[in-house]
Amino acid sequence: MPDITLSTLDVIKTKIRRLTRSPSANQISDAVLEDYINTFVLYDFPEHLRLFSLRSTFTFYTKPYIDVYSTNTTDPTDPMYNFKNNYTSVHKQITIAGYPTMLSQSREQFYGIYPLTSNIEQVGVGDGVTTSFSGTLSKIPIKRDNVLFSGIDLLSNAITVTDTSLPNNTFGTLATPNTGVTIGNVDYLSGVWGVNFTLAPKAGSIINVQTYPFVAARPQAILYYEDQFVVRPIPDQPYPVLLEVYRRPTELLNGNDMPDISEWWQYIAYGAAKKVFEDRLDQESVQMIMPEFKTQERLVLRKTLMNNTNERTSTIYTEQIDISSGISGWGGNNV
């Protein structure tokens, strides 16, 4: 059984000191050395290699009437917390409530299937005096962050008022773009709205509202774009979304911390040493350690290659001859 104490952070630091001929903390402090190690672990390692050991499942849950789920850095309890930094890529297969779901990274493809076509509804007529308008939309519910009130004011300038949704609420605030000054609100479910324009709409000018009405249901497709997930149809209730991702390796913070896989320790040591030499502009030493760095890289990659060789290339016939399908599975005999 391998001795796991051979792969701790302290052992990695000792190896780097030997490689870089820096045995003393006066030459390079432990804190600086740990920065080199974790820079390599978190940023270089996952880009050099996509390892089977770093592939995992990730789950988040939809919320009723909310279609966009973005990475955030404010709520550590949210599954999407720091998603864009913790995971390097998203892969198929994705399921929602256990159902296979389409994954797209193309806005053209996704919105070609689920177009964002606005419904334009007249909600008022200006008289040159009145600034406050209210009412109830005829088609509900409507998509959050997709409401636009428009018209022409007394000075013949365009009136533009958009919505900003409030987290975990069914209503949003209305404001002129880029001002942040609230001049109204809208309820996405009931369609009740009210707005107090800064300047009265011109007499006889039509006040329109553009919205995106929808029928809530279980989502059947996901767009992954700009580090956020967009689901369609917009959900009517919470559903578990399960997807495959590549995560970053675990950061090493304490002396007894070990890499996710113990055998990575020499690869990490050579990678961090290489970064030390690069900062010293010591290209000769970089070239000296590169052969062993590449050897360690191949050794780390070996397990992934072996796992991949056990997977046959998928074809239209794969499931039909897979013995694991059972006699009543694809290509089996129902008896």
The structural domain count of the chain equals 3
Tell me how many degrees the CA angle 150-191-234 measures, rounded to the nearest 5.
100
Same domain, 202 and 143: yes
- Confirm whether 315 is domain-assigned: no
Same domain, 105 and 238: yes
C-alpha to C-alpha distance for 172 and 182, rounded to whole angstroms: 10
**Would the pLDDT of 306 be above 80?**
no
Same domain, 29 and 172: no
- Confirm whether 146 is domain-assigned: yes
Same domain, 128 and 198: yes
* pLDDT at res. 304: 79
- Confirm whether 70 is domain-assigned: yes
- Name the average pLDDT for the chain: 89
- Domain containing residue 80: 52-113+217-247
Strand partners, 70: 228
Average pLDDT over residues 199-203: 95
DSSP output for 168-199: T-SEEEEE-TTT--EEEEEETTT-EEEEE-SS
Same domain, 153 and 269: no
Peptide bond connecting 93 to the previous residue in cis, omega within 30 degrees of 0: yes
Same domain, 81 and 230: yes
C-alpha to C-alpha distance for 183 and 195, rounded to whole angstroms: 6
C-alpha to C-alpha distance for 40 and 251, rounded to whole angstroms: 10
- Confirm whether 328 is domain-assigned: no
Same domain, 221 and 278: no
Average pLDDT over residues 316-323: 50
Same domain, 139 and 223: no
Same domain, 109 and 221: yes
**Would the pLDDT of 210 be above 80?**
yes
Q: How confident is the model at residue 324 (pLDDT cuts 50, 70, 90)?
A: very low
Same domain, 207 and 129: yes
- Confirm whether 326 is domain-assigned: no
Average pLDDT over residues 1-24: 87
Same domain, 262 and 238: no
Choose the weakest-confidence range: 2-11, 83-92, 110-119, 253-262. 2-11
User: At which of 247, 269, 298 does a domain end?
Assistant: 247
**pLDDT (tens digit, 9 = 90+) per residue, 107-120?**
999 999 999 999 99
Q: How confident is the model at residue 334 (pLDDT cuts 50, 70, 90)?
A: very low
Same domain, 182 and 258: no
Share of the chain above pLDDT 70, in %: 90
